Amino acid sequence: MEERLQKLIAHAGVASRRAAEELIANGRVTVNGERATLGMKANPDEDHIKVNGKLINIRIEQHENVYILLNKPKGVLTSVLDPNGRKLVVDFVPKKFGKLHPVGRLDYQSEGLILMTNDGAFTQKVNASKTIAKLYEIKVKGLPPEPAVNKLRRGVELDDGFKTSPCDIKTLQPTKTNAWFEVTLFEGHNQQIRKMFDAIGHSVVKLRRIAIGNLRDDLMPIGSFRVLDEKEVKAFLTGKLKSSTKTKEEADKLAKHTRSLKPKKAKFKRPDEVK
């Protein structure tokens, strides 16, 4: 059966659909020895499909989708490649899972949950969605006045010209010198939360993503990951997944499926731990 090349490349786990389109546009994909073009279709049962000179037909046939939830540490790049040699999110997942890519972004200085997969269609659907909430726990410099925070709740134009949508901002217990908030976003503009609070003169000091949709794992150590099962993936996309790891019994069960290259205790304190 013929399918679009970018879909086949994504299905093989080589790259996301968008990245596959770039590979095609850059002349790095061939079909039966001829340079492929955007919009071209192919049948992996009949056509020889190569990416960077390597045949991917077997990978298409044997491909199994993998979905990972990683608790990213601060100082780790959400990417699969960095010319500067910085630590990458892919470094925290064993190579046995094959070539994975992050779903969305979480900036270098932030920590928390991020999804990783080899399913290009899943990535495209999640990144395009405006119904999957991302929940962040943040600490900001100083104590912003309520009118300024209300301005962010209604939506604000950032310095780069992006107009944010209305969002939910819950005020948490502050310290004498710093405010804490829970921020819920349904969009993913680059460093959006940091730029939002910069716009009212109170920069973000710490930022952690604590939930993606209904996926939330409070007991996952920083730098650890776990594999989502089929039911979780389906429930995540339909918004029916219940939070996990809320009890010790559930946490012990999760530990059997959790691995970490360098497990360590999180340095990021929750607001209810700050005195």
The residues carrying an active-site annotation are 107
In sequence order, the 6+-apart residues with CB closer than 8 A to the CB of 222 are 71, 72, 73, 111, 263, 264, 265, 266, 267, 268
Cβ burial, residue 160 (10 Å; 0-12/13-18/19+):
exposed
The DSSP H or E segment spanning 181 is: strand 178-185
Tokens 């991302």 belong to 134
Residue 84 and residue 75 in contact, taking contact as beta carbons nearer than 8 Å: no
Alpha helices for 28-170 (secondary structure H): 57-62, 120-128, 146-154
Cβ burial, residue 11 (10 Å; 0-12/13-18/19+):
buried
* Cα dihedral 99→104→107→110 (10° resolution): -90
Give the three-class secondary structure for 249.
Answer: helix
